[in-house]
Chain A
Amino acid sequence: MRKSWHRLAAGAAAVLSLSLILSACSGVKKEEGGSADSGNGKSITLRIMWWGSQARHDATLKALDLYSEKHPGITFEPEYQSFDGYQDKLSTQSAGKNTPDIFQMDAAWFNDWASSGRLEDLSSIPTDKIDKVLLETGTYQSKLYAMPLGNNAWGMVYNKTMMDSLGIQPPKTWDEFFAMARDLKPRLAKDQYLTRDLTADGASYMSYQLSMGKGFSMSKDGKFHYDEATWKDWMNQWAELRKEQLVTPPDVTVSDKGQDAQMDLLIQEKILLRGAHAAEFGGTDALKPGVMALTTQPRATQASGWLKASMYWSVSPNSQYKEEAKEFIDWFVNSEEAGEILGTSRGIPVNKSVADALQPKFTDVDKSSLGLINEVSKDGAAFDPGPGNKGGWANFTKEYDNITQSIMFGKISIDEGWNQIVKLSQSLE
């Protein structure tokens, strides 16, 4: 027993020393190679993760390739997916202290992440050409924790080809909107409608409440801002349309999945318009090229769209390569060569000189996005990242969907739904 121990130890020591010698040799070699080259010859891999459509994946991967080409020794391990489940994945990685070096961040969760020390301070990245208002949305306690990547706006996407052939324009006001849902139906196929049933669509209701001059229904102060009269009015309008079969039936409404080639009702030409973000337009257009166009949300006494930062890059404080990650982000937002590849895949670039330089090269898709953003910026609402997940809001959003869906499926009345929402709001902190 003893003998074999000795033998084992000796063997292990031999292997260890051998490997030390070998690594020492390779270390020397590397240094020599480094000095022959320009700069440092270290080779690192940055993990980077984002969500988006295929158009955004393609553009981003191309940009990563270019960066690796220009910076020998830096390679990327990209992880990308659609928005579904992205936050779940990121939170889980964060709990395991395994977040990628660089990851895409959303305005809605930014405060939760920044306030719990899960983001690296990015203040050292030059930002002199970036819109101050946008930067503000990625700042927490006067430190920049999330670099905004694009300008974005909430509006509507509509099937221009079909509307043109019907000789109509997208509705400009909510009154026009509801009237059109009625008047247009006889001219459409049996399973075609102007719009899907928006009873259970929180974002569209938010637009409606804004247009009535009642402000955002959810905002960053974390308080309950749903306006009873406006809400019931909205629900009643939809209940009538639903009863008269002028909007999609409930089972069809819940099957809608934006940006999915098979399940997006707009792409399937079952509906003619729906709410959309300017920065998503590339993905929508790719599914049905040249057919769709963007416009603003319908208005009432006020405009009902809003501006927002499309998304951000953040860096993990656990990253081994924070400086390299920040350098990459600097290149990503501030260099024209990156801007040229990325186009408007994350909205209109935040760096003014990059955006100006790109203007002549904009495709029709880019111009549509820019057009909507310009239109909304005239009189749309300012940024509001919303309440985030804290204080019971994650639960509220989910329950809100359930309650409004129950109304849509006729399981509860509108008044009952409102009472449930009020009761739910009392659990908010």
Chain B
Amino acid sequence: MNPQTVQSAGKVELDKKMKAITKRFKGRWNAPLAGYLFIAPWLLGFLILQLWPIIQSFYLSFTEYSLLEPARWIGLKNYQDISQDRLFFNSLKVTFLYVIASVPLKLLAALAVALLLNRNIRGISFYRTIIYLPSLIGGSLAVAVLWRNIFGLNGFINHLAIWVGIAPKNWIGTPSTALATLVLLTAWQFGSSMIIFLAGLKQIPGELYEAASVDGASPLRKFIRITLPMLSPVILFNLIMGIINAFQMFTSAFVVTNGGPVNSTEMFALFLYNKAFGSLQMGYASALAWILLVIIGIATALNFVASKYWVFYETETEGRK
């Protein structure tokens, strides 16, 4: 080896070291900075409009705060009061009933319609659009007002009821039927879950069905043995999103029934709103919000744990092979 090559080798070594150092600094500071700048619009929005209020509400949950006067620290009193509040337990009961009834119904409706729309007939995209349309406007106030009129005293349902021989009544004004009308309204807004199901159905390889047909499997068997397992990750996703949304349901309970009659539709979020803006108990309402967060967190965690027993991921089988 001649000395020149040794020298140049040393230089290359040094260059490499320098580059590594600058790269490390650049890597640590410059590249992320650009990244942070790119997400800054979202990040600022999140920090100012979401994280900060979340921290504030945590603090407020230990205070008595009426909006009109400054917040006063009262420790755990809000949480103690909540644990003895009859209306709190009522709203929990109503909300759980609503979640248990509305989420499966909505998923069933979404899956059924997705199956119907998952075929190649002429004008299918037109049908898809038409059926998805209500869901675009479904969460809006206008639809809630419409619902109030449909199920109201002079509403469309009562005109039907007379034909079928059921005595007309104010469906949203009767404690035993009010919640059911809200569940129906939710189930009717199946559109976005349906779109996700539809995308999931398209992902299932056609060969599986062909192979099953060759073996003489009935359509029902194909559905149970192929469609459901292959679709299960999508079902899990829709289930979790559905449950999270259902726990926070507010608009239709507020507009259609406003929690009545006799609190039969006073959902958790509505109860929270009434405490905050009706009774001006912001501290109490903040404590309620944190309780709701914990409940949703537990429900979601349970779902993930349970999912191990029924959700099927394609990658799993590949791994086993």
Contact among B154, B261, B280 with A250 in the assembled complex (CB-CB below 8 Å): B261
* B173 x A254 contact (CB < 8 A): yes
Q: Which residues of A contact B (CB under 8 A)?
A: 88, 91-92, 94-95, 112-113, 116, 118, 249-255, 262-263, 389, 394-395, 398-399, 402, 405-406, 409, 411
> Which of A92, A94, A254 interacts with B170 by CB under 8 Å?
A254
CB distance from B11 to the nearest CB of A (A): 30
Sampled A-B contacts (7; CB under 8 Å): A88-B277, A91-B277, A94-B67, A94-B68, A254-B261, A389-B280, A409-B262
Taking the closest CB of chain B, its distance from the CB of A174, in whole angstroms, is 26
Contacts of B154 in A (CB 8 A): 262
Residues of B within 8 A of A253 (CB): 173
Cα A255 to Cα B87 in complex, Å, equals: 22
How many angstroms between the C-alpha atoms of A395 and B87 in the bound complex?
Answer: 11
In the complex, what residues of B have CB within 8 A of residue A252's CB?
A: 153, 170, 173
- Binary A-proximity of B165-176 (CB < 8 A = 1, otherwise 0): 000011011110
Q: In this assembly, does B300 line the interface, its C-beta being within 8 Å of a C-beta of chain A?
A: no
* C-alpha gap A253/B170 in the complex (Å): 10
* CB contact under 8 A between A251 and B274, given known A91-B67, A262-B149, A389-B280: no
Q: Which chain B residues in 158-209 approach chain A with CB under 8 Å?
A: 169-170, 172-175
Interface centre among B154, B170, B172, B262 (most CB of A within 10 A): B262
Residue of A nearest to B174 (CB): A251
A250: chain B residues within 8 A (beta carbon): 173-174, 261
Inter-subunit contact B68/A251 (CB<8 Å): no
Give min CB distance, A406 to chain B, whole Å.
Answer: 5
Are B68 and A398 closer than 8 Å at their CB atoms? no
Complex Cα–Cα for A249 and B175 (A): 13
Contact of B153 among A91, A92, A255, A411 (CB under 8 A): A255
CA A283 – CA B69 in complex, angstroms?
A: 36
Q: Is the CB of A112 within 8 A of B173?
A: no
- Closest chain A CB from B52 CB (angstroms): 15
A95 touches B261 (CB 8 A): no
Interface of chain B, helix or strand or loop or mixed?
A: loop
- B contact residues around A255 at 8 Å (CB): 152-153, 170, 172-173
A95 to B277, CA, bound (A): 11
Q: Known contacts A112-B68, A116-B68, A250-B173; decide if A402 and B262 are in contact (CB<8 Å).
A: yes
CA–CA, A251 and B168, complex, Å: 11
Q: How far is the CA of A104 from the CA of B95 in the complex (A)?
A: 36
Decide if B260 touches A116 in the complex (CB within 8 Å). no
The residue in chain B whose Cβ has the minimal distance to the Cβ of A401 is B260
Complex Cα–Cα for A251 and B151 (A): 12
Chain B residues within an 8 Å CB radius of A395: 279, 281
| Contact, CB under 8 Å: A398 / B149 | no
Q: Mark B54-84, 1 if CB is under 8 A from A, else 0.
A: 0000000000000111000000000000000
Q: Does B319 contact A (CB under 8 A)?
A: no
B-side contacts of A406, CB under 8 Å: 262
- Given A255-B152, A402-B263, A405-B262, A113–B68 Cβ distance below 8 Å? yes
B41 within 8 A of A: no
Tell me if B35 is interfacial: C-beta within 8 Å of chain A. Answer: no
- Assuming the contacts A254-B261, A402-B262, A411-B262, asked whether A389 and B170 have C-beta atoms less than 8 A apart, the reply is no
- A399 vs B274: C-alpha distance in the bound complex, in angstroms? 12
Interface centre among A112, A251, A394 (most CB of B within 10 A): A251
Q: Which of B261, B277, B281 contacts A251 (CB 8 A)?
A: B261
Q: Is B278 an interface residue (CB 8 A)?
A: yes
- Besides A91-B280, A395-B281, A398-B278, 13 other CB < 8 A contacts? A91-B277, A116-B69, A250-B261, A251-B173, A251-B174, A251-B261, A254-B260, A255-B170, A255-B172, A255-B173, A395-B279, A402-B262, A409-B261
Set of chain B residues within 8 Å of A389, measured between Cβ atoms: 279-280
Chain A: CB-nearest residue to B70: A116
Shortest distance between the CB of B223 and any CB in chain A (Å): 42
Most chain B CB neighbours (cut-off 10 Å) among A92, A94, A394: A394
B170 (CB) vs chain A CBs: closest residue = A251
**Measured CA separation A37–B123 after assembly (Å):** 69
Bound CA–CA A398/B281 (angstroms): 13
Task: Give B118 Cβ to nearest chain A Cβ, in Å.
Answer: 41
Q: Which residues of chain A are within 8 angstroms of B153 by Cβ–Cβ distance?
A: 251-252, 255
Q: Give the contacts of B63-111 with A (CB-CB under 8 A).
A: 67-69, 87
Q: Is the CB of B67 within 8 A of A394?
A: no
Give every chain A residue within 8 A of B279 (Cβ-Cβ): 389, 394-395, 398
Question: Top 3 A-B pairs ranked by shortest CB distance?
Answer: A251-B173, A251-B170, A95-B67
